[in-house]
Structure 1
Amino acid sequence: MKTLGVLLWVFVTVILKAPYSWAEPPGTVWRMDTRPEQLIFHAGFQAWGSNFNVHDHVTGESCVNRQQGQRDSGFVSTAANFQFIRTAAAARAFAQPGQRIYLYRVRPDSNFFNAEASLRTLHDNNPQVPITPLNYHPSRAANEYITPTLIPTQNIRDVESYIVVDGELQVSTAQVNPRYVADNTRATNRPYFNGEAPRERRPTWLGMIPMVGACLAASRSDLKQDIPAIMFTLESVYNSSTSIINHDEL
């Protein structure tokens, strides 16, 4: 439990102090999941639905802040910050002993957009909609990249898994995806923008702040629709740095 508390405190510190990090498009991104490679290498990662409002996705309004059956985000999230997402996977493994957590390495292409830059572009074009600085922090810390609809299996390079057994973290060797297609591609340096303004909401500083971005571990597949995720509120950051406050299924 002490180890988990330290990992959570690292997350809080990174999220609140992370600098802007989206100037250089990455050639590799990662996605955390609870589904094994037999499923993901076959089907890829699919978004929940067809809501392509970046604001809704990054703030969790189209995924984690909705009930199951109502989540409709049209994006799949990934992280370009390997240390961040690797620590996230380890923290999640410690929080769920015996549960294997998978970290997939993905080759991005021109259909991958920086989430923070996309959110800023959306709000620059819709200044009437309020936003708090906290909306940017999870995406910035993870260096989150979003892609519409699907990450196909040919873009998924390999996977490693994390599991805690008898209090010890075990990390597997990487398993290569036989369907992976090697190519020299990178994420785009353009933000995603479709002109759609976010719905007006009452701004708040105390909302659900996810460990690794609001929808960073909230994809949908025809093979498995529900993925558990560990969540905590900003209020809990001030009250306790070692407790997991709430469990949600993305």
Structure 2
Amino acid sequence: MKHVNILGVPFSITNHSTLVEQLNQHIQKHEKSFVITANPEIVMRANQEEAYMKSLHRATYITADGIGIVKASRLLGQTLPERVTGYDVMIEMLKLADLNHYRIYLLGAQRDTLEEVKKHIQQFYPHIQVVGSHDGYFDWQHNTISEEIMQSSPDLVFVALGAPKQENWIAEHIDQFNKGVFLCVGGSFDVIAGKVKRAPLSWQNKNLEWFYRLLQQPTRWKRMLALPRFSYHVIRQKVKRSL
């Protein structure tokens, strides 16, 4: 698959439907894959933390979870077709899992949120086998999560630890597994559990989902400072290429 290099991060040139189809093929073939959906904040963090950048480079696919990434690709001359968000991919993979009776493992969020997610899946996707789960509050160095995942042999592992933990956790453990799609889904568990409301489609279509989330969670404003820094560095990258 072709890539767009944006500040050192290789974004896969793919759209939502193509990615979902490819992930399903990986499952059908008992292959392993690691999916990151990255926004400008993740890109900027990777440029500040070498270890995190290495984690991103372990991924099979990195998609544009943010209109800023798509616009940056246009500026750099290799257009990414559209946003491919962790939440949207998770929902489509749940539909496929229900259709094909796939096995899934859930990692992340608070314990009560995780229980609500499992109830939601049992209600709306009754043919999915939830073979294991663990909340996102654990001792990083001393836990048996990877062993539990290996023993339960899931087809899909949804990791909702938030950035950078989810990417780092998968990168650190991916070599232990022979199969399975490992998907970073950020705050998707909170949305599914009804703890956080996703932006209405009208806001999403206008590329204002980030602003809707900021209105819901004003404490995110410091994180938004990554956006102007990201824009500045992308412009610098374009200028360097043109010299």
Larger strand percent: 1
Q: Same fold (TM over 0.5)?
A: no
Larger helix percent: 2
Q: Which has the higher contact order (CA 8 A, sep 6+)?
A: 1
